Structure 1
Amino acid sequence: MARTLVLDPYKNYRFKVYFGEGSSDAVAGVTNVSALSRSIEAISFRDGGGDSVPSSCPSPGLASFEPLTLSRGMTKDGTFHAWAMALDPVNGYDESEGNANIRKDITIELCNDKGDTVLKYRVYDCWVSQYQALPDLNSTDNAIAIQTLTIQHEGFQRETE
């Protein structure tokens, strides 16, 4: 009797996030990454060809990508802040650099229990649409201060090595 190899599914708590193409330094302290997802609108097409009961045939329409939210505990590291402030609605941005500081590719690596990368996704043309620089502060609370970035993007791809 042949023995079937059963592989445990990957756990969701070991991951690394990188900002910018070719970056070798993981963003420090990222504790949460929202789901990476897309949806494709279904367009209903109704065939009027002679049957007494017209049939409806769905066709794929426009793709949309859900925003990605990254969270981390606040530290002195200014990575979140620098990227979020690159697109300043009051002062604009340095047009001589174009989109270099505003749009970045993000790489998300899922790691196994040993810390080795097992899955890698590249998220394209990301920009910060919402930034929570400082959470609610409460002197009677016993919690970690969390920063969040909400990121819009133009798609993602699973990378194979």
Structure 2
Amino acid sequence: MPRFVESTKRDPYRNFNFRVLLNNVEVAACRKISGLTGTVEVVKFRSGNSLSSVDELSPGRAHYEALTLEAGLTQDTAFQDWATQLIRHEATPGLRAAEPDYRRTVEILVYDIDHNRPVKRFILHNAWCSKFTAMSELAAEANEILIESVVIEHEGFTIEAVV
């Protein structure tokens, strides 16, 4: 009996080949991004005249976990400028008459093994920074790079295959 041979390679993508874009502009290379997660709340329901002892389950509201991006501290101030926009705005009393332009479209591009072309695009919608860590801990005996990080809240994401 002939054996079926797969004609295309289906190896999974590597988790170290990625780039981050803020409003279509590539930012300093990130070293780590926490998992991108979306969940739907479960709503339990039982009508008063139901003879069943089992709850009916319905989908509720969707919820998206915050995303943490870590990058080596460089001269690129894209994260700092964006993350501190709300902090600076809140620190100035009486100036919150209009919403500042703090929401961004964040794209995470995952590249093939040779880093030649993007193969997946994750797009975060209406993203904004809720926390900014300007630099990691300093230690005189350490042999590490300085890391800045941002925690990003968002209102959902889409996933696109890049062809």
Which TM-score band applies after superposition, normalised by the shorter structure? Answer: 0.7 to 0.9
Q: Structure 1 residues 29 and 93, CA, compared in 2 at 3 Å: closer, same or farther? A: farther
Letter in 1 for 2:132: Y
Computed over aligned residues only, the root mean square deviation of the Cα atoms, in angstroms, reads 2.1
The residue type paired with residue 150 of structure 1 is: V
Task: Check the 8 A contact 1:104/1:124 in 2, yes or no.
Answer: yes
Aligned partner of 1:131: which letter? F
Distance 1:47 1:118 in 2: 47
Q: Which runs of 5+ in 2 are unaligned?
A: none
Q: CA deviation at 1:85?
A: 1.5
> 1:132 maps to which residue?
133
In the other structure, the counterpart of 2:119 is 118
Q: Secondary structure at the match of 1:131?
A: strand
Q: Distance in 2 between matches of 1:93 and 1:65?
A: 31
| One-letter amino acid of the structure 1 residue matched with residue 77 of structure 2 | G
Task: List alignment gaps of at least 5 residues for structure 1.
Answer: none
What secondary structure, in the 3-state scheme, does the structure 1 residue paired with 2:75 have? coil
Residue by residue, what CA displacement relative to the aligned partner does 1:103-132 show, whole Å, maximum 9, x if unpaired? 101001110112210000110011110000
**Aligned in 2, Cα 1:97/1:109: closer, same or farther, shift over 3 Å?**
farther
> In the alignment, which residue of structure 1 is the partner of 2:14?
11
Residue identity opposite 2:45 in structure 1: F
The 8 Å contact of residues 19 and 29 in structure 2, kept in 1 or not, is answered as no
- Return closer, same or farther for 1:50/1:84 CA change in 2, 3 Å cut-off: closer
Task: Give the aligned partner of residue 49 of structure 2.
Answer: 49
C-alpha distance in 1 between matches for 2:18 and 2:136: 24
SS state at 1:55 partner: coil
Shift of 1:83: 0.5
Q: Give the structure-1-normalised TM-score.
A: 0.87
Q: Is the CA contact 1:45–1:56 (under 8 Å) kept in the aligned structure 2?
A: yes
Q: Which runs of 4+ in 1 moved over 4 A?
A: 92-98
Sequence identity percentage: 29
Instruction: State the 1:38 CA deviation.
Output: 0.8
Aligned residue number for residue 58 of structure 2: 59
Query: Is the partner of 2:84 in helix, strand or coil?
Result: helix
